[in-house]
Chains A and B, each alone.
Chain A
Amino acid sequence: MSEPLVQVRDLKVHFPVKGGLLGRTRGTVRAVDGVSFDVARGETLGLVGESGCGKSTLGRAVLRLLEPTSGSIRVAGRELTGLSQRELRPLRRQMQLVFQDPYASLNPRMTVEDILAEPFAIHGLAKGQAREDEVLALLDAMGLPREARSRYPHEFSGGQRQRIGIARAIALRPDLVVADEPISALDVSIQAQIVNLLVDLQRERGLTYVFIAHDLKIVEYVSTRVAVMYLGRIVEVAPSRALYAGPRHPYTQALLSAVPVPDPERPRARLLLPGEPPSPLSPPAGCAFHPRCPHAMERCRRESPPLYPLGGGHAAACFLAEGDSRDVPADSTSGGGAGVLAQPSSPG
């Protein structure tokens, strides 16, 4: 098996919370709190969880757009933590971000041609006619008319703007694209177009995706593997099909049963979770999910469960899964046990 494109080990991103007149630090938000995972070349890792679970922070930290507090991020074998912004710049063309809101992320005063030519200019690539050809090729690949190049972002619909955002991200043929809620701002009839575009681009260009979303139906559709986050940690990770067919963590089970399914014949056997996610400023002791968990035991209030490997690339951070554990747990504090964090086999 070839080396994973992305290897994240025990990544932590903590934000100090300042308050009061003197701006003293009053606490710490552990937005990402000890996360380890791999992403194989050409696969899509889906990252799901509710708002505040740390999925967007994690996505940005992997690209070093946010400063990690501790831990290791390797992309294509190169350690990214500790590099200065200057050292990072040449690596940036290998890893790109697609934003949720394509309007806020496109400069309103630049034409589409300027927007798409900018990455080439920054990295000193494809000058003159060659650069122009690259821009036209990008427009073609996005299904946008070539006349679009002389127009401004506000002249486009949401779906078209997202196509421009994607074009900019893939302009320099990156290996890794982190897509942060790329379709949630779009209308239902447009979402499928953008998902199809992303899937086509992945196939044509061998892209590797980290796909962050809260829509579990779309995540299942696009992902090779899915990681579920709760309060800064991965609570379950598995190949997409295994996760949706047999979720092992009670949170994943509740999340899946809460998805509104467009089928009135389907019985609504909902596992209704009580309460709401706790504040990441003061997470509960032990397993962070225990106050809402229907199966919480005494032990859950004291100890935080590690990710137990369950075979076939499936792992869950729940004591109920401990009995089925196949291996040493992928304890996030040791950074070991990476076997379960990788894909079980190369994607098809």
Chain B
Amino acid sequence: MTGAVAPLLDVRGLVTQLSLPRGTVRAVDGVSFTVPPGGTLGVVGESGCGKSLTALSVMGLVPQPPGRVVGGEVRFKGEDLLALPEKEMRRVRGRHVAMVFQEPMTSLNPVFTVGEQIGEGVRLHLGATKAQARERAVEMLRQVGIPAPGERVDAYPHQLSGGMRQRVMIAMALACDPALLIADEPTTALDVTIQAQILELLKRLQVERNMAVMLITHDLGVVAGSCDVVAVMYAGRIVEQAPVRELFARPAHPYTAGLLRSIPSLHDAGSAGEGGRQRLKAIPGMVPSLTALPSGCAFRDRCDRASELCARVTPVLEPKRGGQSAACHHPVPAP
């Protein structure tokens, strides 16, 4: 990624609050990142880290209440989406920025055919006629690899398998040729062989269309295979951001390093079952509740590198080495 290309999406200092019974928390707390045209940004983190809420904030879809975007900028092609009135935002959403969700069954409308749902955006945004929209829907179903698209266009969501529904969701999202696709755990609900199909499909469609993708996932394996740049989130903040190779080869933040160490690699010697009995290197403790974050660095209670400084001063995301940024006072040295 060279700095010469203007980013397609430029998010700066995004803050999204959630009002909870126990008080108001900053579920997204000063998040900044960019996505270049045609590039892929992976956002990884565990449940509650704010990765999905970041995506919803970009889309202007934060449920209000309890959520509210209270600060920052979301610049898409230079225009701040947060400043747009809802009417204008609707022109952008689905047309230029589209989203795919984790659970296709809950995001598809059960009483409309998949053709009607794919065609809806085409009619709304591109002014297509009913016949044109249907034609486009069939074409999109073909592009996402659904067999017999001319018949499936009249199917209802419940008549399709989970993998097929996710393909329909992708067809729906891409029907208007968006410049940016936000995919929130698009394969988490799917079996591993179907997951591989969907990831391959997304990759192919992205290249064909030179489309930018923001891929949100908890699975570091998915990130490794699909992304150019990765942002790791913890307790509402980006704690590390790096090109994918650097992140996996030389993680700078102790949280990233800990996550990578805790996953057994496939076909690794010394598995527990065969007498090797090496323990997995688990991260101790648990993800803190946003209502009870420790002072300073939110990770310090679980960190073996933490010092007294970490309790006093919240580390900010800053460049550490070769395109790699981390929010840490004591980053892991490169091996």
Which residues of A line the B interface, CB within 8 A? 43-44, 46, 50-51, 157, 159-160, 187-193, 195-196, 199-200, 203, 214, 216-218, 220-225, 239-241, 244-245, 254-266, 268, 270, 272-273, 276-277, 347-348
Contact = CB atoms under 8 A, between A and B. Distances in A.
Contact of B46 (A188, A196, A218, A221): A188
A270 B196 CA distance: 8
A188 B273 contact: no
Contact of B248 (A260, A264, A270, A348): A264
B64 interface: no
B259 A216 contact: no
Given A187-B287, A191-B262, A273-B193, A196 B273 contact: no
Nearest to B279: A196
A189 B283 contact: yes
Nearest to A51: B191
A199 B46 CA distance: 24
Contacts of B283: 189, 192-193
B312 interface: no
B222 interface: yes
Given A187-B46, A220-B264, A221-B273, 4 more contacts: A51-B191, A244-B266, A264-B248, A276-B194
B42 to A, nearest CB: 10
B287 A260 contact: no
A258 B258 CA distance: 24
Contact of A259 (B192, B258, B275, B277): B192
A318 B198 CA distance: 27
A259 B280 contact: no
A193 to B, nearest CB: 4
Nearest to A243: B267
Interface string B249-274: 10000000011101111111001111
Q: Give the size category of B's interface with A.
A: 35 or more
A276 B282 CA distance: 35
B272 A264 contact: no
A272 B196 CA distance: 7
B163 A272 contact: no
Contacts of B77: none
Interface string B223-239: 11100000000000000
A197 to B, nearest CB: 9
Contacts of B273: 43-44, 46, 220-225, 240, 347
A180 B281 CA distance: 23
Nearest to B147: A275
B221 interface: yes
B19 interface: no
Contacts of B287: 157, 187, 189
A260 to B, nearest CB: 3
B243 to A, nearest CB: 9
Given A260-B222, A348-B275, A217 B263 contact: yes
A276 B196 CA distance: 12
Contact of B244 (A218, A240, A261, A264): A264
Contacts, number: 158
A330 B273 CA distance: 24
Interface in B264-304: 264-268, 271-275, 277, 279-284, 286-287, 302
Of the candidates B192, B245, B287, B302, the one having the most CB atoms from chain A within 10 angstroms of its own CB is: B192
Nearest to A50: B191
A187 B47 contact: yes
Given A264-B248, A268-B225, A190 B286 contact: yes
A221 B267 CA distance: 9
A240 B262 contact: no
A196 B280 contact: yes
A195 B280 contact: yes
A262 B163 CA distance: 23
Contacts of B275: 347-348
A260 B195 contact: yes
A256 B266 contact: yes
A198 to B, nearest CB: 9
A220 B267 contact: yes
Contacts of A217: 263-266
A256 B272 CA distance: 19
B86 interface: no
Contacts of A189: 46, 258-259, 262, 282-283, 286-287, 302
A258 B222 contact: no
A262 B220 contact: yes
A67 to B, nearest CB: 27
A258 B268 CA distance: 17
B219 A261 contact: no
A255 B192 contact: yes
29 contacts: A43-B273, A187-B218, A189-B259, A190-B286, A191-B262, A192-B263, A192-B282, A192-B283, A196-B279, A199-B272, A199-B279, A218-B264, A220-B267, A221-B271, A223-B273, A224-B273, A240-B271, A240-B274, A256-B266, A258-B195, A260-B196, A262-B263, A262-B265, A264-B224, A264-B225, A265-B245, A272-B200, A276-B163, A276-B194
B222 A255 contact: no
A284 to B, nearest CB: 16
A200 B268 CA distance: 20
B274 A348 contact: yes
Nearest to B217: A260
Nearest to A224: B273
Contact of A239 (B193, B199, B274): B274
Given A260-B195, A262-B220, A262-B263, A193 B272 contact: no
B197 interface: yes
B262 A192 contact: yes
Nearest to B271: A221
